[in-house]
Structure 1
Amino acid sequence: MKRVAVTGLGVITPLGNSVEEFWENIKNGKSGAAPITKVDVTKFKTQFGCEVRNFVAEEYIDKKELKKYDLYTQYAIAATDQAIRDAGLDFGSMSEEERAEIGVIWATGNGGMGTFEEQLREFHSGDGTPRFNPFFIPKMIVDIAAGVISIRNKLHGPNYCTVSACASSNTAIINAFDTIRLGKANVMIAGGSEAAIIHSALGGFGAAQALSKRNDNPEKASRPFDQDRDGFVMGEGAGALILEDMDYAIQRGATIYAEMVGGGMAADAYHLTGTPPNGLGAALGMSKALAEAGITPDKIDYINAHATSTGLGDMSELNGIKRVFGDHPVAISASKSMTGHLLGAAGAVESVISVLAAKNDVIPGTINTENPDEHIPEGLNIIFGKSINQKVDYVLNNTFGFGGHTATSIFKKYTES
């Protein structure tokens, strides 16, 4: 099996549209939550979210091209362009044979839902005559961002989309990792994007009682592990990673952020939207990732928890962590307390956080938790408040999705050998 390096990062998030700005805000414990401005939510029970702000699509996409892309694809293009530049990859100078060894696995939970909603609204507000945008289907389908990224960069390697709800982009990263380890590509662009701050998503999650209704204080609404939490905060954006065959990266003189060493996937096989109280699916995914990395639980220094700020979900994950890690005092934190829940893009953005934690020996904190849940398993080391400086050699990143999907990735501090 080939070793896999992380050589480039890119983000579009509620906490900044560059990796540098995003990481500073994560370290400083800033909340991205605020009243929603993109759609009229005056009649909705939840009127706030973690929106991407100050995003200028024209910085990445020709204005004439914008009409072809849903916002989730625009976010994908922007994040991947950042990551490609960060990795120092010049696809234009490569031969067709070289570009055949470079692929894209890009995730989303919902794809062009905004486009779908807008098109149906237009149809039903008219006289019933079918006047549909010719770009409607390619703007809407979930795989199109992966295709667009490859088309823009003339990449002929493996190309597809993973969909496993809120585990989608962690699944994409794990699949990209496996593709390189098996020698099926030299470089993979992996990650995910979501643009679901729209009426149907807010209404659907709201009807499922999944969203916080703390409209009077949005910045404090996402409070993982807190006794008084009342649901997650909807977020949006994108995260991108460049994964490379370690030998290929070293040969071309790439800067290496970290090494990816393991990925584990499993299923709760329990409930349509809920997670089992004993955390079985989470525990299985974490155990598989550890086994693949060839390490024991005591080697993990930091867990970026999925922790969305829902009662059942938070406790299920912590019980799963307790099953796997026992009394090992691994540091645990929930970055969704700051970013909100980016749905299908969550795993990618949190992988960026995980990689930077290992590179910089920084463990992000969990903000807003003022009254820790009395049912938190004894002995767990949850980092509350702002970030802390601590040695980080291995990071484990958890993501879970409706349908019982679980995906866990492990990153290791890179050291020359």
Structure 2
Amino acid sequence: MVQQKNTLPRVVITGLGVVSPLGNDPKRLYERLLQGESGISRLESIPTESLPIACGAEAKDFTGKIDNYGPLEKALQRTIRKGSKVMCREIEMGVAVAQLALTDAGLTAEIRDPHRTGVIYGCDYIMTLPEEFAAGVQKCLNEDGEFQFDQWGAKGKPEVNPLWLLKYLPNMPASHIAIYNNLQGPNNSITIREASAPAAIGEAFVTLQRGHADVILVGSTGSKVHPFRTMHACMQEELAADRDDPAKMSRPFDADRDGSVLGEGAGAMILETLEHAEARGANILGEVCGYGSSAVAGSVVADFQHQAILNVLRAACRDAPQVGHVHAHGLGTVSGDRQEAGAIAEFFEGATAPPVVAAKGNFGNLGAGGGMVEVITSLLAMQAGELFPAPNYQTPDADCPVSLCVERGVSAGDSFVSVNITPQGQAAGVRIAKLGAE
């Protein structure tokens, strides 16, 4: 756990980029959340005939075309088009939001110091697509359609693209972004599933405080909508059942919740030292004021997610035990929401309970990309002054004692804490405030 001291550089946010099931424009995303819109619908990008679910939250506005990357110089457009041949969808989304954030921050190549600008990105492990090996497998089938393992080296392997692995390595988003933009500062990749985003922000926060860089492009990208990953999730995770109206499926903290909804997305932010941002006249959107991380094993503690989230809140909010609102992980699972709500209630016991939001109710679980998109939505709410209401909260659950925002007009306050956790008990969270509020 690391906390900001008066003698350390202050860290601020100056640019945003987003790809989500509710669009690729941050302000439009926030407006749609305010209106209670949902990005959940029947899945179109993967076959669902053999799956127990048919609905999810796809980032349908992201096509991978060059205009998704924002306004770019012609040379950079050509470079990204060429590089896209070795990028899967998660990596493409990650690169796109990075370019959008750089543009939003006005951080052009002419004004940034390559050696003092770094990249820290969150990403889950990435799964290959079946078609990468289809031709090779076909070559190794006998007359009865049985796969002959001893034929793979001679017949199957030559049919596989020699560069296929580069399309699926979780460090490639940060690598591509750094290469395309000549960012030679600190570079790191964080791979802890849903907790990747706040952990990446925390790593960037500490890196800037230590003086290793002036600017860090921090982001995360992920997808749970994938032929293999969706299949794995159906076997291993607690998923919400399909409903006649898919928009009603994701119900964080509601008594009738029955699981999470799979989605995809990415987000990025530009973090700078306050001194650097002010020197270039940047538009400051908020200040990173605290960070916490924790890992608690289920074999050691029964309610391990409760304890992990409680640890994160204690660390991230040590210097400011009261915040304007909490952005909960809010996965929508029975046990997960109960444990998270208990941790939030325990931490804020004795204080005025802050309102809680959970954007997964609108766009589901975006995997490693979700935490960054959620932080961006809370940042925009803090700027606008109004929280977005939970769309599907109808029946309170006594086991979830949180003050979930369920109506318009609720103040977002001058600060917030956002937390995320993995099914294995790895958690991370960040506290962000308006500049000068803390």
* Paired letter, 1:184: H
Q: Residue 325 of structure 1 aligns with which residue?
A: 348
Deviation at 1:389, TM superposition (A): 4.1
Q: Aligned pair 1:136/2:164, yes or no?
A: yes
- Structure 1: runs of 5+ lacking an equivalent: none
Deviation at 1:161, TM superposition (A): 0.7
Match of 1:368 among 376, 387, 392: 392
Q: Aligned pair 1:309/2:332, yes or no?
A: yes
Contact 1:277–1:315, Cα closer than 8 Å, also in 2: no
Q: Identify if the C-alpha distance between structure 1 residues 175 and 166 changes in structure 2 by more than 3 Å, giving closer, same or farther.
A: same
Contact 2:291–2:431, Cα closer than 8 Å, also in 1: yes
* Paired letter, 1:108: C
Match of 2:220 among 192, 201, 204: 192
Deviation at 1:376, TM superposition (A): 2.1
Q: Aligned pair 1:281/2:333, yes or no?
A: no
Contact 2:415–2:437, Cα closer than 8 Å, also in 1: no
- 1:201-258 Cα shifts (integer Å, max 9, x gaps): 1111111242112242211000011122111001101010100000100010000000
Deviation at 1:315, TM superposition (A): 0.7
Q: Residue 116 of structure 2 aligns with which residue?
A: 101
Q: Residue 103 of structure 2 aligns with which residue?
A: 85
How many equivalent pairs are there? Answer: 404
Structure 1 SS opposite 2:292: strand
Deviation at 1:65, TM superposition (A): 3.1
Deviation at 1:403, TM superposition (A): 2.1
Contact 1:271–1:404, Cα closer than 8 Å, also in 2: no
Cα separation, 1, equivalents of 2:302 and 2:168: 29
Q: Aligned pair 1:344/2:371, yes or no?
A: no
Deviation at 1:278, TM superposition (A): 7.5
Match of 1:334 among 342, 358, 361: 358
Runs of 4+ in structure 1 deviating by more than 6 angstroms, as ranges, are none
Q: Residue 393 of structure 1 aligns with which residue?
A: 414
Contact 1:268–1:280, Cα closer than 8 Å, also in 2: yes
* 1:405-416 correspondence to structure 2 within 5 Å: 405-415=426-436
Contact 1:50–1:339, Cα closer than 8 Å, also in 2: yes
* Paired letter, 1:219: A
Structure 1 SS opposite 2:429: strand
Cα separation, 1, equivalents of 2:30 and 2:305: 33
Structure 2 SS opposite 1:303: strand
* Paired letter, 2:16: L
Q: Identify if the C-alpha distance between structure 1 residues 52 and 391 changes in structure 2 by more than 3 Å, giving closer, same or farther.
A: closer
Deviation at 1:281, TM superposition (A): 1.0
Cα separation, 1, equivalents of 2:228 and 2:117: 36
Cα separation, 1, equivalents of 2:139 and 2:393: 48
- 1:130-179 Cα shifts (integer Å, max 9, x gaps): 12112211111110000000001000011121011110111111100111
Give the stretch that moved more between structures: 254-263 or 346-355.
Answer: 346-355
* Paired letter, 2:137: H
Contact 2:30–2:381, Cα closer than 8 Å, also in 1: no
- 1:46-81 Cα shifts (integer Å, max 9, x gaps): 111000112232213544432111111110111111
Contact 1:116–1:136, Cα closer than 8 Å, also in 2: no
Q: Aligned pair 1:22/2:44, yes or no?
A: no
- 1:337-369 Cα shifts (integer Å, max 9, x gaps): 001111111111111112112212121221112
- 1:16-41 Cα shifts (integer Å, max 9, x gaps): 01112211111211110000000111
Cα separation, 2, equivalents of 1:49 and 1:391: 28
Cα separation, 1, equivalents of 2:349 and 2:129: 46
Q: Identify if the C-alpha distance between structure 1 residues 309 and 391 changes in structure 2 by more than 3 Å, giving closer, same or farther.
A: closer
Q: Aligned pair 1:3/2:5, yes or no?
A: no
Structure 1 length-normalised TM? 0.92
Cα separation, 2, equivalents of 1:15 and 1:344: 17
Structure 2 length-normalised TM? 0.88
Match of 1:259 among 277, 287, 294: 287
Cα separation, 2, equivalents of 1:228 and 1:333: 18
Q: Identify if the C-alpha distance between structure 1 residues 93 and 233 changes in structure 2 by more than 3 Å, giving closer, same or farther.
A: same
Contact 1:275–1:312, Cα closer than 8 Å, also in 2: no
Q: Residue 72 of structure 2 aligns with which residue?
A: none
* Paired letter, 2:333: T
* Paired letter, 2:432: F
- 1:360-385 Cα shifts (integer Å, max 9, x gaps): 212122111222223223xx321125
Q: Residue 73 of structure 2 aligns with which residue?
A: none
Q: Identify if the C-alpha distance between structure 1 residues 197 and 253 changes in structure 2 by more than 3 Å, giving closer, same or farther.
A: same
Q: Identify if the C-alpha distance between structure 1 residues 275 and 262 changes in structure 2 by more than 3 Å, giving closer, same or farther.
A: farther
- Structure 2: runs of 5+ lacking an equivalent: 1-7, 70-76, 141-151
Structure 2 SS opposite 1:316: helix
Q: Residue 74 of structure 2 aligns with which residue?
A: none
Q: Aligned pair 1:123/2:133, yes or no?
A: no
Structure 1 SS opposite 2:27: helix
* 1:233-272 correspondence to structure 2 within 5 Å: 233-270=261-298
Q: Residue 31 of structure 1 aligns with which residue?
A: 38
Deviation at 1:388, TM superposition (A): 2.9
Contact 1:304–1:398, Cα closer than 8 Å, also in 2: yes
* Paired letter, 2:348: F
Cα separation, 2, equivalents of 1:122 and 1:105: 36
Percentage of matched positions with identical amino acids: 29
Contact 1:359–1:414, Cα closer than 8 Å, also in 2: no
Cα separation, 2, equivalents of 1:334 and 1:360: 17
* 1:191-230 correspondence to structure 2 within 5 Å: 191-230=219-258
Give the stretch that moved more between structures: 63-72 or 155-164.
Answer: 63-72
* 1:145-184 correspondence to structure 2 within 5 Å: 145-184=173-212
Contact 1:269–1:404, Cα closer than 8 Å, also in 2: yes
Q: Identify if the C-alpha distance between structure 1 residues 278 and 101 changes in structure 2 by more than 3 Å, giving closer, same or farther.
A: closer
Cα separation, 2, equivalents of 1:375 and 1:395: 23
